[in-house]
Amino acid sequence: MNDMSPIVNKRPARRRVPMATTLHPDTVDRLEEMANQYHVARGQLIDKLVLSLYVAVKGGHMVCIHGEQCRMGRTDVPAVL
């Protein structure tokens, strides 16, 4: 008996929402440099940056890009946010 069932993708489909926006050329350059440094796509980097800022604003303390509190010991959220 041949038990060759098809391989089923168990990961849910990731839905990325396209967003048309304009950025300063310097911002694009910095974004590209950081994406290359962290070996991620620009969209993934933006996701991580927005998440870290969101957590900082909601929690009232600065967090690093990896989502944990920064080691610098800084606890204030910059007023610019």
- The answer to whether 31 and 46 have CB atoms below 8 angstroms apart is yes
Residue 32: pLDDT above 80? yes
Q: Is residue 10 part of a domain?
A: no
pLDDT by residue (tens digit) across 43-73? 999 988 888 778 777 877 766 666 666 665 5
On whether residue 42 sits in a domain, the answer given is yes
How many C-beta atoms surround the C-beta of residue 40 within 10 A? 14
**How many distinct structural domains can be found in the chain?**
1
Whether 81 is covered by a domain: the verdict is: yes
Asked whether residue 64 is assigned to any structural domain, the reply reads yes
> d(Cα 43, Cα 45) in Å, to the nearest integer?
5
Over residues 17-30, the mean pLDDT reads 90
State the residue range of the domain holding 35. 24-81
The pTM of this model reads 0.59
